[in-house]
């Protein structure tokens, strides 16, 4: 029998079907698997983590800006699948905590929220993170690299969302900061590896182009 978490994954697949900017279903699936894995290692509630991971981008501002504020897609799913009210509230609360908002990012208050946030952030790092960075950049009209352009660091959510700097700058604005923002020991260990891989990529990028890191 299918669990609510399996059904949530199917629901997410339909929602992000048309995305080619790094928030496709592959992202949701990887976050789901990582969240289940980290939850097991950290002793968190695996079912809550699985549900929240499957639904974490269902109302993402990039995919569904009109439902972001009230998380209507996630609410509808939880409602229609008879997820108990207390669990549904925990899941919705976690979804509200996970996303990166520049200097306005929050640390989740539950271990389950910490696990899902770590899983989502790991997917923005390493080889997958590099691929997603440029897929997202291309889908929103950003260049791969713009010599002399300064990264937007230390900015709050509003500026972070409206800023439109090149893909390489995104490493300095977000991707290289993630290692220091991991919540759980298991995610920290994996983040170290992915961080090193990104540093190697940047070194090689600047070696090949003869440009200087910002």
What residues line the site for Ni ion (CB under 5 A)? 57, 120
- If the CB atoms of residues 108 and 214 are measured against Ni ion, the closer one turns out to be 108
Give the separation between CA 96 and CA 98, rounded to whole angstroms.
6
Q: Report CA-CA distances (Å) from 129 to 25, 67, 113, 123.
A: 15, 26, 21, 6
- Closest approach, Cβ 198 to Ni ion, in A, equals 18
- If the CB atoms of residues 57 and 118 are measured against Ni ion, the closer one turns out to be 57
DSSP percent split of the chain into helix, strand, coil, nearest 5: 65, 0, 35
- Closest approach, Cβ 85 to Ni ion, in A, equals 25
Per the CB < 8 A criterion, the answer to whether 64 and 208 are in contact is: no
Helix (H, G, I), strand (E, B) or coil at 195: helix
- If the CB atoms of residues 44 and 58 are measured against Ni ion, the closer one turns out to be 58
Tokens representing 210 are 């003869």
- If the CB atoms of residues 120 and 173 are measured against Ni ion, the closer one turns out to be 120
- Closest approach, Cβ 43 to Ni ion, in A, equals 23
- If the CB atoms of residues 24 and 57 are measured against Ni ion, the closer one turns out to be 57
Tokens representing 102 are 């520049």
- Closest approach, Cβ 19 to Ni ion, in A, equals 11
- Closest approach, Cβ 138 to Ni ion, in A, equals 18
Which of these, 183, 173, 49, lies nearest to 121 by C-alpha position? Answer: 183
Element (H, E) at 33: helix 25-42
């Amino acid at each position: 029998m299918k669990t609510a978490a399996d059904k949530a994954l199917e629901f997410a697949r339909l929602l992000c079907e048309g995305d080619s900017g790094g928030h496709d279903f592959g992202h949701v699936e990887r976050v789901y698997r990582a969240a289940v894995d980290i939850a097991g290692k950290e002793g968190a509630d695996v079912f809550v983590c699985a549900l929240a991971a499957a639904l974490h981008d269902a109302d993402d501002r990039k995919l569904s800006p009109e439902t972001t504020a009230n998380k209507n897609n996630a609410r509808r799913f939880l409602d229609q699948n008879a997820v108990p009210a207390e669990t549904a509230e925990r899941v919705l609360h976690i979804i509200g905590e996970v996303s990166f908002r520049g200097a306005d990012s929050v640390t989740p208050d539950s271990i389950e929220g910490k696990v899902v946030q770590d899983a989502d952030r790991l997917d923005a790092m390493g080889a997958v993170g590099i691929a997603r960075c440029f897929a997202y950049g291309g889908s929103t009209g950003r260049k791969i690299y713009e010599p002399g352009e300064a990264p937007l660091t230390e900015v709050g959510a509003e500026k972070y969302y409206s800023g439109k700097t090149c893909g390489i700058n995104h490493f300095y604005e977000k991707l290289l900061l993630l290692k220091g923002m991991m919540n759980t020991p298991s995610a920290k260990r994996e983040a170290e590896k992915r961080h090193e891989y990104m540093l190697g990529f940047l070194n090689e990028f600047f070696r090949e182009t003869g440009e200087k890191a910002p």
